[in-house]
Structure 1
Amino acid sequence: MNPIIYIEQNREKLFKTYLDLHGLAEPSWQEKLTSQYIHQALKDAGISVQTFTHHYGLIAEIPGKEKEIVALRADMDALIQELDGAIKPNHSCGHDAHSTMVLYTALAIAQSGLIPKKTLRFIFQPAEEKGEGALQMLKDQALEDVQYLFGIHVRPSFEVPFKKASPVIIHSSAGTVKGTIKGVQAHAARPRDGINAIEAAALLVQKLKQIQMPKGETGSIKMTQLQSGNNATNVIPETAVFALDARAQTNDAMNMLKKLATSAINEVKAETGAEISWAMDEYVPAAIVNESAKSLAEEAITSILGSDNLIPACISPGGEDFHFYTLDNPGIKATMIGLGCGLSPGLHHPQMKFNPEALIYGTQILTKAIFLASEQERL
């Protein structure tokens, strides 16, 4: 059976798979049941699967006539957030949807009996929310011999409307800076005898607000967490722990933002005498647009939804660890498809909802895209 038709005719099974994965919701590096569920579905379809002893990621393959590989990537982990008064894992970023679509792309192709020109690889990745999963899959050779790589992400309605799709999501670079300010304790009646960690943090906030990016570059860095003062109220606090959120539209802009933030921190150290240690954590790079992969995604979208439902590009201030794959492998032709699905109120909102009908045409778009890529000559 034609894979596109198979997806349509198995819509109820696909919807059930999505609901099953939605109910499993497991945090980063703990995707055990999710991985087992996907593994079993692939195994039942006769698809070979590689597992790992040190994490729950999976790599499945459908052999082609040639060694070169076209790959799809899905993320599996859920967020930890408050939902209905309880702190628990929750799929409010759509990773359950992404895993469902990539899984059913593999199942649809496997049942068709078609032998693609190039081998098709399906990467189910852990720990995207921590910005670490893609790096781990790279260490495990997930991109060996990969020529094209496609990802997909559900999008809020204000970015990509329902029954529309974009061939590229242009994510920003994002990172979290975690740091410690070390001052000197003193009696509050003698503030000149100490170095107030809170006052140093306040000065740092002002320095960061004054950062000006070079013309043509966009970026921001702001303090989002600050903790200090475990002593009596009449003691100058010695230590403050802080976090900064950094965002930039390009990787070059993020490098510039890091330099400007470093200068701001050094100025605070010089002006206050406090010691400040810091490092960037949970960093993800900005998207690197590949026109070849984007063009194939455009063709796949228009084939399934029609040209009137093509959104040329989706610009997102959010980050995605998918872009480590291309940052570390600039020769790979890759793009992440933005799927309109009626999503509201927004990604990471605990009550995020979308229209499951999008899972059908999203899976069909992925299936079309990898077959188009499989037919491309290696450049």
Structure 2
Amino acid sequence: MDFPSSLLFLVLLVLHLVLLSVAAPISSGAPSSAAAAEEEEDPAGLLRRAREAEVAEWMVRVRRRIHENPELGYEEVATSELVRKELDAMGIPYDHPCAVTGVVARVGSGEPPFVALRADMDALAIQENVEWEHKSKVPGKMHACGHDAHVAMLLGAAKILQEHRDELQGTVLLLFQPAEEGGGGAKKMIEDGAVKNVDAIFGFHITGDLPIGTVASRPGPIMAGSGFFEAVISGKGGHAAIPQHAIDPIVAASNVIVSLQHLVSREADPLDSQVVTVAKFQGGGAFNVIPDSVTIGGTFRAFSKESFSQLKRRIEEVIVSQASVQRCNATVSFFDEERTFFPPTVNDEGLYGHFRKVAREMLGPDNVRDRKPVMGAEDFAFFSEAVPATFYYFVGMSDGAIGLLQYTPHSPFFTVNEEALPYGAALHAALAMRYLHEKHGTSNLFSKGEVHDEL
């Protein structure tokens, strides 16, 4: 081959190789890794990923499987097994058991900093009255508070985080917690070391009083501390026709209940929200017999430990004193605090700014709202005793359809709008990712040019 021919051959070969290198990523139909990172590392990109059928429909299937097989606190054996199987399929390592049935999974470097995301797993002792294809198969048990959706959303967040595991500058812990409904599962997880060395933790709850696509929270107290009491008021039984020969505990208990209402209306600061509710009154069994004793019980709630302690002390004083006025005796008990007392849920001010910034980038400013405190309680509050910064928020799921979401949690008619699942999954993932990057000082990652609040 002569020189000009050899030169021509080399030129053609080089051109061919160049064309192949340019055409390869285009012909594959997939964006480059840099383009994929830029598209999906921003909060809005994570939401787009969560709404893709591969993720969204999978979360719906997971949620329905959990809903069909509800389990009460510390009995979440099948739910925990489902969670572990899904984590195995994603290649995510985990520890089990934690707090009897709980699961603690890890995504990222395995090194600090550590940020945690939490979902509760337990159902309620309620008979479901909603007729649909995936109705509870267990008589007397139902996911009537959305915990089935919370588990599905945290698994969705796990899937998104696992896809970005190499970019995480630290470790995200995924806490699948048992026994939130009065069982103190969060406290048990803390005792078992689930949040050791964790710098911040995020929790969430779906709600029907916010439109779908919106989220809400606030800095400071967002849910009350709660406790439960029970009192036995004893008198002397007798015939209802001759009450002068009896000591009527029903009349005494009635006076006690009325007096308890004065603790909030007459003794509490009107600007310091408190609640005392008597929800149990048991005694007697016949229309013409005055019983020997009756039992009353209820709940008390407040937003500060000081107010809570004051209420507890005065509840006992009022019950004993008012019973004695009616010549009765009273014994008051407060349920085992380790299981039933929840401290107030208080949001870290710095994490509130972090939440607003990330959520606004994902959903738009108009869809991130402030929320008034509510008197409901959450055992997520226990994490504030072990983690430097805690934050809890609400994910809207109402679409305005007639009859949809008109029933509050703990109702046998409670329903979940499954279109809300991608929002919780994506925001949980984005909050953790951004937190780790900002802890490492790379707060410009997927930034939209907004001013960054300090953590």
- Say whether the fold is shared (TM-score over 0.5): yes
Structure 2 residue aligned with 1:209, among 252, 256, 261?
Answer: 261
- Residue 25 (str. 1) matches residue 70 (str. 2): yes
Counterpart of 1:352 in structure 2 is 414
Counterpart of 1:7 in structure 2 is 50
Counterpart of 2:434 in structure 1 is 372
Structure 1 residue aligned with 2:115, among 34, 54, 70?
Answer: 70
Instruction: Give secondary structure in 2 for the equivalent of 1:221.
Output: strand
**Shift of the alpha carbon at 1:193?**
4.8
Counterpart of 2:316 in structure 1 is 262
Counterpart of 1:38 in structure 2 is 83
**Deviation string, structure 1 residues 82-112 (Cα, Å, up to 9, x no partner):** 3239952111211011111111111221133
- Residue 200 (str. 1) matches residue 252 (str. 2): yes
Q: Which runs of 5+ in 2 are unaligned?
A: 1-35, 131-137, 399-404, 441-454
Separation of aligned partners in 2, 1:229 and 1:291: 51
Counterpart of 1:302 in structure 2 is 360
Instruction: Give secondary structure in 2 for the equivalent of 1:82.
Output: coil
| Contact 2:113–2:439, Cα closer than 8 Å, also in 1 | no
**Shift of the alpha carbon at 1:37?**
0.2
| Contact 2:73–2:183, Cα closer than 8 Å, also in 1 | no
- Residue 139 (str. 1) matches residue 184 (str. 2): no
Structure 2 residue aligned with 1:58, among 103, 107, 113?
Answer: 103
- Residue 224 (str. 1) matches residue 274 (str. 2): no
Instruction: Give secondary structure in 1 for the equivalent of 2:351.
Output: helix
Counterpart of 2:11 in structure 1 is none
Counterpart of 1:276 in structure 2 is 330
Q: How many residues align?
A: 374
Give 1:140's aligned amino acid: D
Separation of aligned partners in 1, 2:273 and 2:326: 29
Aligned 1:78-93 pairs, distance under 5 A: 78-84=123-129, 88-93=140-145
Greater shift in the superposed pair: 184-193 or 292-301: 184-193
Instruction: Give secondary structure in 1 for the equivalent of 2:369.
Output: coil
Greater shift in the superposed pair: 63-72 or 287-296: 63-72
Separation of aligned partners in 2, 1:340 and 1:360: 11
**Shift of the alpha carbon at 1:367?**
0.7
| Contact 1:289–1:335, Cα closer than 8 Å, also in 2 | yes
RMSD: 2.4
- Residue 155 (str. 1) matches residue 211 (str. 2): no
Give 1:243's aligned amino acid: G
Separation of aligned partners in 2, 1:345 and 1:186: 44
Give me the TM-score of the superposition, normalised by structure 1: 0.90
| Contact 1:163–1:341, Cα closer than 8 Å, also in 2 | yes
Structure 2 residue aligned with 1:335, among 380, 383, 391?
Answer: 391
**Deviation string, structure 1 residues 144-178 (Cα, Å, up to 9, x no partner):** 11101000100122xx2221101448112222212
Greater shift in the superposed pair: 42-51 or 69-78: 42-51
Quick check: which one's strand share is greater?
1
Give me the TM-score of the superposition, normalised by structure 2: 0.76
- Residue 166 (str. 1) matches residue 216 (str. 2): yes
Counterpart of 1:107 in structure 2 is 159
| Contact 1:167–1:301, Cα closer than 8 Å, also in 2 | no
Instruction: Give secondary structure in 1 for the equivalent of 2:432.
Output: helix
| Contact 2:98–2:104, Cα closer than 8 Å, also in 1 | no
Separation of aligned partners in 1, 2:240 and 2:256: 21
| Contact 2:109–2:166, Cα closer than 8 Å, also in 1 | no
Structure 2 residue aligned with 1:321, among 356, 379, 383?
Answer: 379
| Contact 1:285–1:321, Cα closer than 8 Å, also in 2 | yes
| Contact 1:167–1:295, Cα closer than 8 Å, also in 2 | no
Report % sequence identity. 26
Counterpart of 1:127 in structure 2 is 179
**Deviation string, structure 1 residues 222-254 (Cα, Å, up to 9, x no partner):** 221111124x65543212122112232443332
Change (3 A) 1:87 1:23: closer
Greater shift in the superposed pair: 239-248 or 268-277: 268-277
**Shift of the alpha carbon at 1:138?**
1.5
Greater shift in the superposed pair: 119-128 or 63-72: 63-72
| Contact 1:223–1:242, Cα closer than 8 Å, also in 2 | yes
Q: Which runs of 5+ in 1 are unaligned?
A: none
Give 1:39's aligned amino acid: R
Greater shift in the superposed pair: 315-324 or 67-76: 315-324
Separation of aligned partners in 2, 1:374 and 1:260: 46
Quick check: which one's helix share is greater?
2
**Shift of the alpha carbon at 1:38?**
0.4
Separation of aligned partners in 1, 2:407 and 2:323: 42
